[in-house]
């Protein structure tokens, strides 16, 4: 479904808060980070200071050399936290689909909100105005169909900016920008890309995903998608449990091992498929069982390495199941499996060994076929017993608790 995402980022955040508290600092080159005679770096520089080449991360001594008349402020975190809270509260008034990314930055999913505000652009104008009126802070907003494009649009529009990228325009918008504008491309990745003759995002977009993958692993594939303006990441709600789970209640309480294993296998496959779709990997696998008398137990195992392979998830689930059943003789009423403790893929590329890579390739192929022909187009031997019990659809099996059997 087409989405509309906003990325909102406050301008020169620490400095702007200082300027609210002391209006004499407005319109001047101001640096928050500490006294220039101290060791340390610039945390935030006003746009007037940036005109002299100052930027976050620059040693304070260098900053003073480049801009001797800059005003240097130590800063205090509690003020910034308070201002951040005010900022987020305003955003939450506009959409409950709010994901805050640190103190001065957030994504809002505003899909369908145009009817309330006239247009999404008008909504963004209203948001900027309220942040200005109620917190005294300047902000910049990017609007697009996905997170990555919205974030880059906000960044490009700074300061006090507002930029909307129409659906279909993502690639042409990104194409002329230097690759460093793409979040995630730091010095190291940038150097490798430069050595391949890639300087702007449009050039990166034209490199086959397989080539980027050979250089950067899974991160290379993400780069390829992002450079092409494709980003499926959802706006994650705060406190939204970082976990994915599937469970089902049996039509009749059971101790039938082959049914229990088949059901667990199936639920594990669903969990793995969703993890991969989310582009996440998880380290913790949890088995849930509810017995005939309604006592519910969970058993969990933490992996040394995050995974998105249902094979791994299921095999751990089965071990936990065998152990649980050996200690409890009651019939089972409900079974479930979940994963938590997420990491983004790409964080642990160097550690992937060949068996992991083969599993990853296999699961990609499985996902592709299922996307085309339906979930039950591929079934592992373990879950085949379900065939005789549950009706099938393109979406998989219809278990007894349909809302949970996605
Ligand atoms: P940013 O949003 O990256 O920077 P900014 O708000 O100062 O400037 P702009 O968004 O207009 O480019 O970071 C938000 C705050 O986080 C920033 O005000 C200070 C703090 N910060 C640091 O302490 N150290 C850093 O290296 C960076 C980048 C930010
Ligand atoms: Mg900012």
Q: What is the pLDDT along the chain (406 residues), one digit of tens a residue?
A: 799 999 999 999 999 999 999 999 999 999 999 888 878 889 999 999 999 999 998 999 999 999 999 999 998 888 998 999 999 999 999 998 999 998 999 999 999 999 999 999 999 999 999 999 999 999 999 999 999 999 999 999 999 999 999 999 999 999 999 999 999 898 889 999 999 999 999 999 999 999 999 999 888 999 999 999 999 999 988 655 578 899 888 889 999 999 999 999 999 999 999 888 877 889 999 999 999 998 889 999 999 888 999 999 999 999 999 999 999 899 999 999 999 888 755 544 445 567 777 888 888 889 988 888 888 888 777 788 888 888 887 778 877 654 343 3
Confirm if 95 and 110 have CB atoms less than 8 A apart. yes
Looking at residue 290, what is its pLDDT?
Answer: 93
Instruction: Please identify, by atom number, the ligand 1 atom nearest to the C-alpha of residue 16.
Output: 18
Q: Is 47 in the pocket of ligand 1 (CB under 6 A)?
A: no
Looking at residue 133, what is its pLDDT?
Answer: 97
C-alpha of residue 10 to centroid of ligand 2, in Å: 4
Looking at residue 164, what is its pLDDT?
Answer: 98
Instruction: Please identify, by atom number, the ligand 1 atom nearest to the C-alpha of residue 57.
Output: 26
Angle at 201 between CA 195 and CA 204, to 5 degrees: 55
Q: Is 11 in the pocket of ligand 1 (CB under 6 A)?
A: yes
Looking at residue 160, what is its pLDDT?
Answer: 98
C-alpha of residue 32 to centroid of ligand 2, in Å: 13
What is the pTM assigned to this prediction?
Answer: 0.66
42-49, Cβ contacts within 8 angstroms, sequence gap of 24 or more: 43/14, 43/75, 44/12, 44/13, 44/14, 44/15, 44/75, 45/12, 45/15, 46/12, 46/15, 46/16, 46/19, 47/11, 47/12, 47/159, 49/15
Looking at residue 105, what is its pLDDT?
Answer: 96
Cis previous bond, 134, omega within 30: no
Looking at residue 9, what is its pLDDT?
Answer: 98
284, β-bridge pairs? 302, 340
Q: Is 54 in the pocket of ligand 1 (CB under 6 A)?
A: no
C-alpha of residue 154 to centroid of ligand 2, in Å: 10
Catalytic residue among 18, 48, 99, 105: 105
- Answer yes or no: 105 catalytic: yes
Looking at residue 406, what is its pLDDT?
Answer: 36
Token pair listed for 10? 């406050």
Q: Is 7 in the pocket of ligand 1 (CB under 6 A)?
A: no
Q: Is 104 in the pocket of ligand 1 (CB under 6 A)?
A: yes
Q: Whose CA is nearest to atom 22 of ligand 1?
A: 43
Q: Is 9 in the pocket of ligand 1 (CB under 6 A)?
A: yes
Confirm if 41 and 61 have CB atoms less than 8 A apart. no
Q: Tell me which DSSP letter residue 75 carries.
A: -
Count of CB atoms situated within 10 Å of the CB of 310? 27
Instruction: Please identify, by atom number, the ligand 1 atom nearest to the C-alpha of residue 44.
Output: 7
C-alpha of residue 104 to centroid of ligand 2, in Å: 6
């Amino acid at each position: 479904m087409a989405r509309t995402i906003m990325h909102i980022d406050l301008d020169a955040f620490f400095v702007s808060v200082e300027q609210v508290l002391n209006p004499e600092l407005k319109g001047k080159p101001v640096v928050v980070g500490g006294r220039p005679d101290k060791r340390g770096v610039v945390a935030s520089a006003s746009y007037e200071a940036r005109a002299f080449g100052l930027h976050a991360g620059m040693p304070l001594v260098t900053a003073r050399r480049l801009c001797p008349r800059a005003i240097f402020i130590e800063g205090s975190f509690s003020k910034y936290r308070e201002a951040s809270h005010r900022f987020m509260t305003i955003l939450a008034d506009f959409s409950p689909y709010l994901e805050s990314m640190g103190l001065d930055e957030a994504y809002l999913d505003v899909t369908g909100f145009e009817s309330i505000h006239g247009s999404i652009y008008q909504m963004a104008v209203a948001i900027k105005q309220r942040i200005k009126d109620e917190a005294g802070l300047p902000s910049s907003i990017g609007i697009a169909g996905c997170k990555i494009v919205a974030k880059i649009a906000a960044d490009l529009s700074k300061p006090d900016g507002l930029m909307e990228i129409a659906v279909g325009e993502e690639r042409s918008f990104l194409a002329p920008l230097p690759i460093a504008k793409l979040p995630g491309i730091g010095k190291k990745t940038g150097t490798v890309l430069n050595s391949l003759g890639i300087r702007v995002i449009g050039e990166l977009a034209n490199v086959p995903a397989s080539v980027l993958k050979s250089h950067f692993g899974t991160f290379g594939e993400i780069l390829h998608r992002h450079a092409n303006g494709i980003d499926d990441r959802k706006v994650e709600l705060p406190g939204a449990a970082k976990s994915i789970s599937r469970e089902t209640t049996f039509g009749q309480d059971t101790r039938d091992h082959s049914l229990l294993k088949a059901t667990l296998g199936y639920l594990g496959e669903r969990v793995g498929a969703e993890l991969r779709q989310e582009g996440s990997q998880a380290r913790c696998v949890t088995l849930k069982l509810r017995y005939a008398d309604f006592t519910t137990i969970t058993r969990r195992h933490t992996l040394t390495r995050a995974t998105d392979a249902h094979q791994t998830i299921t095999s751990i689930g089965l071990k936990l199941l065998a152990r649980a059943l050996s200690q409890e003789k009651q019939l089972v009423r409900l079974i479930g499996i979940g994963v938590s403790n997420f990491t983004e893929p790409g964080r642990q590329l160097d550690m992937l060994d060949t068996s992991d890579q083969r599993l990853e390739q296999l699961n990609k192929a499985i996902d592709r076929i299922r996307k085309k022909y339906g979930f039950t187009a591929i079934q592992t031997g373990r879950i085949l017993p379900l065939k005789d019990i549950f009706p099938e659809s393109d979406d998989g099996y219809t278990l007894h608790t349909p809302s949970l059997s996605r």
